[in-house]
Structure 1
Amino acid sequence: MKRFLPAVLLPLTLLLAACSGTSSADGSGGAGGSVDGKGAVTLAVGDQKGGSEAVLRAAGELDDLPYRIKWSTFTSGPPMLEAVNAEAVDVGSVGNTPPVFAAGADSKIIVVAATHGSARGEAILVPEDSPLTRTTQLKGKSVAVAQGSSAHYQLVASLKKAGLTLDDIKVTLLQPADALAAFTSGKVDAWAVWDPYTSQVLHAGQGRVLTDGEGVVNGLNFQVAAPSALADKAKAEAIGDYVERLRRAQDWVFDHPEEWAKVWAKETGLPYEVALGAVKLTHGTRVPVALDQAVVDSEQGIADTFADLKLIPRRFDFADYVDDRFNKDLPPSTSPARSYGKASSR
């Protein structure tokens, strides 16, 4: 597994459109590499709606930070990784497919941490009054999806399971906000998406699940960093601390689902009861896992699939984009997702 690779810069148009705002979490105390003894290292972190900042804050993991965090919010993983490639973001959280598209474009990105959980939040939605009841019935229909997102691969895999391909449907590439508008106005027949959007549509009575990703996709999520940040000793130490805080926060979510649901409801606009159900279904099931060979093999399969479809410009070895220095004593990536009502897999 290599750590640093040369790459070309991607256009920043999506990056600029996706940064919806920033906030900062300032900590006191001196981290290794601080130049003024007051947490001078600033970590630029990419986030998504109801994501890392919210869970870290709820779990108390933003208290007493030995470095500063500058947050940028993105609509999905692909534009976030454009920012990582451009060194505008040091590290950020994405699903299983954005790193494949970024690496396929020879971007400067390195996967540094992983979680494994339920894929039920990854869903293909249809309107409540849609006549569609089976995935096979998507043939000839229009489906909205964000290019290079985790939902993109879930769509490919679900179609394959039903004996279909992308050529059998009309793919409409849209980011979530535009996809929601197209979906609710009837301009597309279905929408492949992820939580919290799945939960929002279901709660609003705007759609239902045609099929989900459980047993179809690998359920992996990643922290992806910029090679330049990893090459900087102080920033690398901060990234290591940051991913460890996220792991503790994920444990906190499993032990405090009601508290997290209250926070997540506020972040997403969902009613508490709906948020709690979504937390127990997807968010609370995640287990921090090692970046091991099973991860590489699974992601390589996704990369090869998109290369075969000619949706990424080249073939590559996913292992070249993995840095396992922060693995510590984490369980293997094949560890089962957590399930409420059963013993924790920790």
Structure 2
Amino acid sequence: MQLPSPDLIDPASLAVKSVLDQLAPTDATVLIIGETGTGKEVMARYLHHHSQRCQHPFLAVNCGALTESLAESELFGHEKGAFTGAMDRHQGWFEAADGGTLLLDEIGELSLPLQVKLLRVLQEREITRVGSSRAVKVNVRVIAATNRDLAVAIRERRFREDLYYRLNVASVTLPPLRQRCEDIPLLAGHFLQLYARRLGRPQCRLSEEAMATLKAYPWPGNIRELENTLHNAVLLSKEALITSQQLRLGAITAHDQPQDDGDLDRFLRTQLLESRSPLYPRVIESLVRNAVELSQGNQLQAATLLGISRNTLRTHLGHLGLIKPRRSLGRHPTPAQSSRPQRERELRIGYQKFGNLGFLKARQSLEAQLVDQGVSVLWSEFPAGPQLLHALGNKEIDFCTTGEVPPLFAQANNDAMVYVAWEPAAPQSVALLVAKQSPIQQIADLKGKRIAVTKGSNVHFLLLQLLDEAGLAQDDVRIVYAPPKYPLTPSDSHAIDAWMMWDPLLSDAEKEGHLRVIADGVGRVNNYQFYLAGREFAAHSSDLLQTLMSALEQTGRYIDAHRPEAAALLSTELGICTDSLTHALARRSHQTQHMNLAMIREQQRIADRFYALGLLNHAIKVRDAVWQQ
């Protein structure tokens, strides 16, 4: 979510800004409370930018996204060999934010054991890496944010009272958008201008009726929902004037919806008294359907919105007839099972919103091919290759695509995966960038600088090559492991000196002109793309893999022959202008090819290099992880 400066005009917003202006110059820990989508991170960035720490990093970590097994390592770091897969020393979020500000978003999601350790860090201002007994001093201002009622969590013994008081030195409560309607015109103007520029569209404006509709709508998703609504309107509008019909908000008004827990109780009580049919199944169905729709079919995101597990969500989806009972793809049916009517199978694909898989998902042609075979296709979006391979190794998905490096880390971690196919090299599709006005002119100037990179990714490999080329070691720079991101906010430029990027974000950054390329992958990395499957899935679902590969080959041929049309379709999915996407698509051939000896040797060369650097915990044989058709 991107917002303008919080210099808004509604009295409720002005009151919040006044509090922020008083808190910003101090080092006080601040707790920001507000519903989902109200702009808590934006307010945290405002506090940082107006503090004495503004020249130092601002980092944000979503506590709800930290896995239980890795959360301590992510927050506090770990030493080499601290656990299986810890191939080198890792700097945690607290160390990476040293001197600056760390936002702990969704703080209420932290487990109780981690709450104890966080309390000690806040009290002592020092962390201890996993696998170490040495305390490391940290100078970090902590801002916490939550959309939950922590007082209730304390009563239910899900949140420590002593940690609450340590965090709540000062608190800011952000009113929901429905309570500050006078801000809507300013916010709407900002989002219209932003997406018109990014999508290369003429500047749009709202009709009076459309603006009235925006003000009357209750905005349960707050500013994030407003942004998505206007983004969609810009995408679909062919005229400069956007009408209320193009907003697709329906006829719901603020008076139709409960505003708080008391209103919700009264609303439900009225429905119970007046309803002629059972209310419970209707409420469950409405909640599930709306969550799935808001998440665009992503079950993990829908489950998160509802506050339930994915398995529980799937149970509800099954009861509603939205999916059929699941049968594992990795097991053969017994004779008794074979005599029963065959249940629907699932093909679970992990993807990033680009390339052949992203395009195949957008066209939904694979679903049409598999419907007669009783196979449903489930898509799960991931930000980068390491996350995809983690999901593949944990059997959360069956198939994915990624670059050269993540599969090697997966193999070294003994994940049961196989290479299925590859796409030709695209070395220009990965690069190191700096701000346009940055004094950094060459790779050697990176010494002592902070570089944002996705750990275990292709750009991670490129960075190693660049450092080696300039005679620098990893310890000569400050590596900040962060997910891929563009466009950048002002605080990103304060926190980071250089960024490792890949397409399509790289092409979009080049087109915008705010960043410049110091070096790309040409002559340094090949940046092949590989298709991978779970070993068990590949062994027992060869028919599905063959169908999938055929669909990908057709998709690749279409993209290479019709790049403008492919870019236009992906533009709708990504919110990136077609010019940037056309440029990104043109830098790579999308012709999917089966694995061969040359590709195996190329991957083995990279694996040997990583092992020699100590980044892999043991030597691997790539040949042992190739799908035997």
The alignment's TM-score, normalised by the length of structure 1, stands at 0.78
Q: 1:261 to 1:39 in 2, by over 3 A?
A: farther
Letter in 1 for 2:439: P
Identify the residue that residue 315 of structure 1 maps to in structure 2.
Answer: 619
For 1:152-171, list aligned pairs within 5 A: 152-171=460-479
Distance in 2 separating the partners of 1:160 and 1:187 = 24
- Stretches of structure 1 lacking an aligned partner (at least 5 in a row): 1-9, 27-31, 326-346
Q: Deviations over 1:100-137 (max 9, x none)?
A: 11111111211111111322111111111112222222
Aligned partner (choices 606, 612, 617) of residue 302 of structure 1: 606
CA distance in 1, matches of 2:362, 2:348: 20
**Match 2:506 to one of 198, 205, 214:** 198
**Equivalent residue for 2:369?**
64
Cα distance in 1 between the residues matched to 2:494 and 2:514: 11
Whether contact under 8 Å (1:200, 1:270) holds in the other structure is yes
Determine if contact 1:108/1:227 at 8 Å carries over to the other structure.
yes
Unpaired segments of 5 or more residues in structure 2? 1-67, 75-108, 110-294, 300-322, 324-328
Name the CA shift for 1:182/1:50 in 2 (closer, same or farther; >3 Å). farther
* Aligned mates of 1:48, 1:160 — CA distance in 2: 30
**Deviation of the 1:236 alpha carbon:** 2.3
Structure 1 183/191 Cα, relative in aligned 2: closer, same or farther at 3 Å? farther
Relative distance call for 1:179 and 1:299 in structure 2 (3 A) is farther
Q: Secondary structure at the match of 2:608?
A: helix
Amino acid at match of 2:445: Q
- The structural deviation recorded for 1:60 is 6.6
1:265 paired with 2:568, answer: no
Amino acid at match of 1:46: G
Query: Which structure carries more helix by proportion?
Result: 2
Q: Taking structure 1 as reference, are residues 155 and 182 closer, same or farther at Cα in structure 2, changes over 3 Å only?
A: farther
SS in 1 for 2:377: strand
Structure 1 range deviating more: 163-172 or 289-298: 163-172
In the TM superposition, residue 178 of structure 1 has moved relative to its aligned partner by 9.8
The structural deviation recorded for 1:64 is 2.8
- Given that 1:39 and 1:68 are in contact with CA atoms closer than 8 Å, whether structure 2 keeps it comes out as no
How many aligned residue pairs are there?
A: 303
TM-score, length basis structure 2: 0.44
3-state SS of 2:617 partner:
coil
Distance 2:348 2:397 in 1: 5
Q: Secondary structure at the match of 1:137?
A: helix
Q: Contact between 1:291 and 1:324, CA under 8 Å: does it hold in 2?
A: no
Pairing 1:42–2:350 present:
no
Residues 105, 68 of structure 1: CA spacing in aligned structure 2 closer, same or farther, 3 A cutoff? same
Residue-by-residue CA offset, 1:149-186 (whole Å, 9 max, x unaligned): 11111111222233333233221111224995698332
Secondary structure of the structure 1 residue equivalent to 2:592: strand
**Contact 2:349/2:377 (CA < 8 Å) preserved in 1?**
yes
CA distance in 1, matches of 2:559, 2:482: 31
Aligned in 2, Cα 1:195/1:114: closer, same or farther, shift over 3 Å? same
CA distance in 2, matches of 1:179, 1:293: 39
Counterpart-to-counterpart distance in 1, 2:342 and 2:70:
32
Cα deviation for residue 245 of structure 1 reads 0.8
Distance 1:73 1:184, change over 3 A: same
Is 2:558 aligned against 1:249?
no
1:132-171 → structure 2 map (5 Å cutoff): 132-171=440-479
Separation (CA, whole Å) in 1 of partners of 2:531 and 2:430: 18
What amino acid is aligned across from residue 369 of structure 2 in structure 1? D
Describe the SS at the equivalent of 2:623: helix
- Mapped contact 1:125–1:190 kept (Cα < 8 A): yes
Stretch deviating more after TM superposition (62-71 or 97-106): 62-71
Cα deviation digits, residues 251-281 of structure 1 (max 9, x gap): 1100001101101222222222222222212
- The answer to whether structure 1 residue 288 and structure 2 residue 592 are counterparts is yes
Task: Confirm whether residue 237 of structure 1 aligns to residue 543 of structure 2.
Answer: yes
Q: What RMSD in Å do the two structures reach over aligned CA positions?
A: 3.1
Report which stretch shifted further, 42-51 or 155-164. 155-164
Moved more, 52-61 or 259-268: 52-61
Q: Secondary structure at the match of 1:64?
A: helix
